[in-house]
């Protein structure tokens, strides 16, 4: 099962690699959280939670965040493997007592992460976020940048602040749906991000494959 926003639902390279391992995905949309049922997790063997334009701490998204946090706690309590990306990782942190807040500086673009344990490549990885989260009890930080945690792992759970799933098509969709204006407001040329994406995306795909493979073999 994958959880995300209906207007930007794409598991990308991560979903492709999980399918390689024999998993399939039903979609659960955050906008319809009021209609989630208690049996939503019955028969589920893996959950991927995706990124979002939402913020964990905004009042307008509070009901959806709390619904997802409650579901995440149930996922972890049941021992269902959880792979949480960006906003999904922030909800994971929030669900177990971590703090999600505005980052000192937004991170948008291709970057390397500082690894405490070299379980995956340092980069390139795509980052696109304004927020950061603290490491909740029961989790270990495996990577970070100056902005904050980038990779945490718990019992059968993993959270990434970066976007291992991202494809070139995703980046173009984000740029066309307001991301380009966001970059221009920060003095960044969207075409520079397009060019950097073309230069880095295939290496990132290989890194994403390795991350999923490690998750399946060592975490899940």
Q: In b/e form, how buried is each residue of 26-64, taking b as 16+ CB within 10 angstroms?
A: eebbbeebeebeeebbeeeebbbbbbbebbbeeeebeeb
- d(CA 201, CA 96) in angstroms, rounded, equals 32
**Active-site residue (options: 33, 94, 129, 163):** 163
**Active-site residue (options: 33, 68, 107, 165):** 165
172 included as an active-site residue: no
Q: Specify the DSSP class assigned to residue 2.
A: E
86 included as an active-site residue: yes
CA quadruple 39, 32, 108, 104: dihedral positive or negative? negative
**Active-site residue (options: 68, 86, 107, 129):** 86
* Residues contacting 14, CB < 8 A, separation 6+: 48, 83, 85, 164, 165, 208, 211, 212
163 included as an active-site residue: yes
CA quadruple 39, 216, 140, 65: dihedral positive or negative? negative
3-state secondary structure 98-161: CCEEEEEEEEEEEECCEECCCCCCCCCEEEEEEEEECCCCCCEEEEEECCEEEEEEECCEEEEC
Strands 47-49 and 82-85: parallel
Annotated catalytic sites, by residue? 86, 163, 165
């Amino acid at each position: 099962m994958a959880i995300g926003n209906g207007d930007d639902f794409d598991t990308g390279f991560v979903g492709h690699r999980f399918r390689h391992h024999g998993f399939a995905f039903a979609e659960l949309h955050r906008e319809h959280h009021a209609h989630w049922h208690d049996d939503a997790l019955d028969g589920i063997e893996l959950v991927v939670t995706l990124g979002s334009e939402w913020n964990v701490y905004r009042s307008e998204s509070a009901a959806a965040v709390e619904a997802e946090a409650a579901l995440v706690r149930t996922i972890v309590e049941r021992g269902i493997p959880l792979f949480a990306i960006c906003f999904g990782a922030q909800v994971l942190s929030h669900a177990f007592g971590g703090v999600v807040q505005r980052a000192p500086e937004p991170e948008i673009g291709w970057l390397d992460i500082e690894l405490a344990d070299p379980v995956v490549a340092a980069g390139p990885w795509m980052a696109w976020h304004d927020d950061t989260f603290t490491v909740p009890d029961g989790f270990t930080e495996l990577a970070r940048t100056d902005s904050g945690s980038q990779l945490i792992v718990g019992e059968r759970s993993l959270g990434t602040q970066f976007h291992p799933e991202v494809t070139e098509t995703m980046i173009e969709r984000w740029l066309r749906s307001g991301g380009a204006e966001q970059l221009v407001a920060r003095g960044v040329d969207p075409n520079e991000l397009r060019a950097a994406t073309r230069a880095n995306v295939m290496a990132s795909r290989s890194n994403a494959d390795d991350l999923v493979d490690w998750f399946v073999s060592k975490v899940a």
